[in-house]
Amino acid sequence: MTNRPAKRRLFLVDVWIAISLLFVILGHCSVAFAPAWYEKLKAWIYSFHMGAFFFISGFLMHYTRKPMKNFSDYLLLIGDKFRKFALPFVILGILLSLIPLAQHHFSAKAMRTALNLLYRPTASYVIFLWFIYVLFEFYLIAPLISRAYNPIIILFLTVAIGLSLMRVSNNLFAIHLFSRHFIFLLLGIIAAENIDSLRRIPRLPVYATAIFFLYLSVFHPGLFYPASGCLALPFMLALSWICAPLLRPCRAVVEHISKNCFGIYLYQMIAIQILARFFAFLPNPSSLFPLFLILAIPAAIVFPLTVIKALNLLATRLFHRAVH
């Protein structure tokens, strides 16, 4: 295994991330006035989309890794990821928990539910933030896996397969979700390590597997996860191949979305819920649900990007004031 980190940006990966974000946003548009056909669409998306996201996350963790010479380098890396992931997770989680806390008059039971954010995120008021929680856990172990890739990656993969088949139910520290998605982190790391071989992969078998996945997932839903997620990886690759030439004219926009995917995921639910509250006041909102989707998708991207820009501007001004 080479220790030299690859630095060249891959547009195909940016397209994959943008498509994954689109699926995430579509899946989070589950509002009270959603029609029955949307619930079927959501079930299809949820059968694979998180596996695709963790796969590409593992790929990038390994592809963009920096040399780690000692334990101090590891601690510096974890400190950087803590500031990027853990702090926004806690701050946003607390802020979003204030509304249900107030609705329950800050009762002892409500406070316990809110505090679940720290050690049982799927039992808290902001369940959707579990992804950030598990992603940070993956960032804790990915550098160690990359460093010890040879010769024990097969051991890690065996453990990951075992965990996914065990169906772990303990939600403490989101262990059940860590176990469920760990295999995709490893597959992403393996893909990044063998990227030169993957570049030579013939397209026809990938397209054939993608069609097979669509057939199974649409006409025979309920395929066991992570099998459905693994079958969806060729589908995501084929979709990225198809979309990359179409999106190349707006490459800068796609890269900007990809670079800010964490922030988009963090704040997109706010935009969706604000828009949903507005639609709920309209007569027969179910009939307007297609319009809601058309508006919610760009809003769930533009709103987080605006928030990120505003926060960066605020942080820059505060820094200058502190210095001067």
Q: Is residue 69 part of a domain?
A: yes
Mean pLDDT of 111-140: 95
Question: Cα–chain-centroid distance for residue 305?
Answer: 16
pTM of the model as a whole: 0.92
- In this predicted model, what pLDDT tens digit does every residue of 218-269 receive, in sequence order? 998 888 888 999 999 999 999 999 999 999 999 999 999 999 999 999 999 9
Q: What percent of the chain has pLDDT over 90?
A: 82
pLDDT tens digit sequence for 9-44: 899 999 999 999 999 999 999 999 999 999 999 999
Residue 5 is assigned to a structural domain of this protein: no
Q: Specify the DSSP class assigned to residue 85.
A: I
pLDDT exceeds cutoff 90 at 6: no
In the prediction, which pLDDT does 154 show? 92
CA distance 312 to 323: 16
**Whose structure tokens read 């979700």?**
177
Q: State how many domains the chain has.
A: 1
In degrees, rounded to 5, the angle at the alpha carbon of residue 265 between the alpha carbons of residues 210 and 176 is: 70
Say which residues have a Cβ less than 8 Å from residue 304's Cβ, sequence separation at least 6.
260, 263, 264, 265, 266, 267, 268, 271
Q: Is residue 112 part of a domain?
A: yes
Question: Is 82 in a helix, a strand, or coil?
Answer: helix
Please check whether residue 122 is in contact with residue 178, taking contact to mean a CB–CB distance below 8 angstroms.
no
Q: What is the pLDDT of residue 324?
A: 65
DSSP single-letter state for residue 86: I
Q: Is residue 6 in a domain?
A: no
SS3 125: coil
| Residue 48 lies in domain | 11-323
Q: Which residues make Cβ contacts (< 8 Å) with residue 33, sequence separation at least 6? A: 276, 279, 280, 285, 286, 289, 292
The verdict on residue 1 lying in a domain is no
46 Cβ contact partners less than 8 Å away, ≥ 6 residues apart: 27
- Flag whether 168 is in a domain: yes
- pLDDT for position 323: 67
> pLDDT tens, 153-168?
999 999 999 998 888 8
Under 8 Å between Cβ of 179 and 163: yes
Asked whether residue 137 is assigned to any structural domain, the reply reads yes
Q: Give the lowest-confidence range in 48-52, 83-87, 206-210.
A: 83-87
Count of C-beta atoms within a 10 Å radius of residue 220: 8
Long-range contacts of 244-253 (CB under 8 A, 24+ apart): 244/11, 244/12, 244/15, 247/15, 247/18, 248/11, 251/11, 251/14
Q: Which residues contact 11 (CB under 8 A, 6 or more apart)?
A: 244, 248, 251, 254, 255
Is residue 229 within 8 Å of 180, Cβ to Cβ?
no
- Residue 150 CA, chain-centre distance (Å), reads 27
**319: pLDDT confidence band, cut at 50, 70 and 90?**
low
pLDDT band at 317 (very low <50, low <70, confident <90, very high): confident
User: What is the spatial distance between Cα 251 and Cα 272, in angstroms, rounded to a whole number?
Assistant: 25
H-helix segments, the chain: 11-27, 36-46, 49-63, 71-81, 87-103, 108-119, 130-147, 149-166, 175-193, 195-199, 203-219, 227-247, 251-259, 261-280, 289-323
Q: Evaluate whether residue 4 is within a structural domain.
A: no
